[in-house]
Structure 1
Amino acid sequence: MNEATGMLSLVLVILMAASSAVDIGSVEATPARIVPDGLLEIEKSLVNILGQSPDVLAFAGFNLRYGKIYQSPEEIKHRYSVFKENLDLIRSTNNKGLSYKLGVNQFADLTYQEFAAQYLISLPKHCYGPQLPIEVPQKNITNATWIDWRKSGFVSPVKNQGKCASSWVFSVTGALEAAYYRKYGTITLFSEQQILDCSNKYLECLSACRGGLPYDALSYVSSHALLSAAEYPYVARVGRCRADDSKPDIDVRYSSTSQRDPEDSLKQAVETVGPVSILLEVVNSFRFYKSGVYTTSDCGNLTEELNHAGLAVGYAIENGVPYWIIKNSWGEEWGDKGYFKIEMGKNMCGVASMGMYTFLG
């Protein structure tokens, strides 16, 4: 074997290992992939800076998959150190034989503090809103062991909030899109960006890309015409409001689930109304969720600790453990195709503490 052939073989081995190492935390291998011209040199540079080891190759694969760009060798070393710490968490958690698995994803080069600052809701504690009248329809309650509104076509595609703590908006548009489908039989994607841009001046506790509440977003959409996502596309930052003050052309109604019996009330709402906006507390390990039923002692169910919104689209049982099915807003590559399962019966991470459901009059 000549020197050129040997070097090419080494680079191919690095790329194959890096490509398969992207999912190393979930113990899933992927085949080697074709990469654009010039990427070979980037891979080679990481090895030159960090040395060659399985973890460095995993970091190279992570960079390849998520298009990460760092500005200096010092930043590369820092991000690798953070990545290595997160990778250790993923491996150690998966080795415990729990009901869920973690995996490397787009957040793996961020500390939890950096992740929280970019993606999680941060509101003053007095902003967690009033308790609204409970209006869960008392009809057709079957106490089913499972329900999944995705199978009925109610649930719109998974979206991605980007680097903006706007999950509270995506939760509401998801609920509204489901309610619209239930009433009219078609999926219409509504504009998250309009709510971000236009609702702040109306509502005291909103801070847009630093977070808000489903209650706040629903207050806005119930009194203003909401444009489609195509008419008012999402850009993951707050801009000038480009919508007028037109009255809504659909009658949006909403209410909250009970805090006295939160999970029973949420289950009743999901069964009788459809997908329901929820809040939960996201802790460090959760951001790397990959599959299975998530449960942890690291979070509680205090209202003031809730820092992320999702959409409860159903519930079921897996290996004897009941769980909620929640739609997230971190893209389809995160978690289980953009969804997660979280244990039911313990109000795990406060998932049922602040349910808000939507229906059209």
Structure 2
Amino acid sequence: MKVACVVLLLALTSSSLGAPRDNLLRRWEEWKVKYGRRYSGQGGHNNMVDAGFSLEMNNLADGRLSGRQLFKHSPVVDVSLGNELPSAPPKTFDWRSKGVISPVSNQGELGSPVAIVAEECVASLQAIKTGELPQLSSQEIQDCCPMPVGEVFDCIHNFGGVCSRSTYPVITGHCRNSSCQAEVQIQGGKSVPASQVDKMVDDLLQRPLLALIDASKPSFEEYSSGIYSDADCSKTVVDHALQVVGYGEEDGQEFWICKNSWGESWGENGYIRIKKGSDTCGVESHASYPY
């Protein structure tokens, strides 16, 4: 495991780039004690990223999630997605204010982010329809849909819907959907055409979205606040999933509001604002939703 990203973060999170060396070393030693880390080597490099957001020395600062699985997903170029909304959407929108977004989860070093976000999107869709937000089993989705990524919502439809979290057994690797009664059923899933921002907004105004992104860069793992953008991340090779719950604008910069699954201590209380309109890390090329 490389120490390089930790040294980078120490430089970025200090009060100034010219912070005294002894202060950086002190913060490095404090971080290792706080998170129980021990290392056998030393090293470092400096690679500045977009200054429009802040990083912090969180528990992922040494790349503990660097072994994430890459997802095979091809962007959809064009597809008919149903009803069209008015051409003048609101300037800002946030599903959190509607009471249809579940609390931030923490997948830790285990668990499928696709399954977690798929469950969140199905639950949100049910809440929009009925006014009640169910607690569904992401474990069931992970067990019964181990391979599909772009087709995860079709898979949920095919196995009959999602059981509640309390009725599905906590067993990894074995699909046991027959052991419980599905609480929510869906018809399947649809993809948002790649890089069509206006269409993504229209779809988002109807329900939250699942977006696959490249979250492999240290700048994402140690994100703290602000509008995230990193030119080094990929738009085509994706390894993580987020729930897109809204959008907004700050100081002339538009952004997507996305919920992560790394706990409330990460980012902005578990959320990240991602630069909108430039397909940052593929967020606008790999979005889908249940219906």
Question: Shared topology, TM-score over 0.5?
Answer: yes
Structure 1 segment 188-337 matched on structure 2, within 5 A: 188-200=134-146, 206=147, 213=149, 215-223=150-158, 224-232=160-168, 238-244=172-178, 248=182, 250-253=184-187, 254-259=189-194, 261-271=195-205, 273-284=206-217, 285-302=219-236, 305-337=237-269
How far did residue 281 of structure 1 move?
A: 1.6
How far did residue 152 of structure 1 move?
A: 1.0
Structure 1 segment 10-29 matched on structure 2, within 5 A: 26=13
Amino acid at match of 2:198: D
Secondary structure of 1:116's aligned partner? coil
- Counterpart contact for 1:159–1:330, Cα < 8 Å: yes
Long gaps (5+) in structure 2:
1-8, 16-21
Q: 1:249 to 1:333 in 2, by over 3 A?
A: closer
- Counterpart contact for 1:262–1:347, Cα < 8 Å: no
Amino acid at match of 2:39: K
How far did residue 247 of structure 1 move?
A: 7.9
Secondary structure of 1:222's aligned partner? helix
Q: 1:349 to 1:278 in 2, by over 3 A?
A: same
How far did residue 241 of structure 1 move?
A: 2.9
Long gaps (5+) in structure 1:
1-21, 29-52, 71-75, 201-205, 207-211
How far did residue 292 of structure 1 move?
A: 0.5
Residue of structure 1 aligned with 2:39, choices 77, 90, 104: 77
TM-score, with structure 1 as normaliser:
0.67
Q: What RMSD, in angstroms, separates the aligned Cα atoms of the two structures?
A: 3.1
Aligned to 1:182: 128
Q: Within the alignment, does 1:115 sit opposite 2:84 as a pair?
A: no
Aligned to 1:209: none
Amino acid at match of 1:339: Y
Q: Within the alignment, does 1:146 sit opposite 2:108 as a pair?
A: no
Report the structure number with the largest CA radius of gyration.
1
Matched residue pairs, number?
275
Q: 1:219 to 1:142 in 2, by over 3 A?
A: same
Amino acid at match of 1:332: E
How far did residue 157 of structure 1 move?
A: 0.6
- Counterpart contact for 2:125–2:207, Cα < 8 Å: yes
Aligned to 1:40: none
Q: 1:165 to 1:193 in 2, by over 3 A?
A: closer
What is the rounded CA distance, in whole Å, between the counterparts of 1:129 and 1:279 in structure 2? 10
Secondary structure of 1:322's aligned partner? strand
- Counterpart contact for 2:161–2:185, Cα < 8 Å: no
Secondary structure of 1:77's aligned partner? coil
TM-score, with structure 2 as normaliser:
0.81
Q: Within the alignment, does 1:164 sit opposite 2:116 as a pair?
A: no
Amino acid at match of 2:168: Y
Q: Within the alignment, does 1:62 sit opposite 2:31 as a pair?
A: yes
Q: 1:333 to 1:220 in 2, by over 3 A?
A: same
- Counterpart contact for 1:121–1:307, Cα < 8 Å: yes
Measured against aligned partners, the alpha-carbon deviations of 1:66-90 in whole angstroms (never above 9, x if no partner) come to: 4x3x5xxxxx2337x47xx49x66x
Aligned to 2:54: 101
Secondary structure of 2:273's aligned partner? strand
Structure with greater helix share of residues: 1
Secondary structure of 2:84's aligned partner? coil
Measured against aligned partners, the alpha-carbon deviations of 1:181-232 in whole angstroms (never above 9, x if no partner) come to: 10111111211111222223xxxxx1xxxxx51x332122213231222333
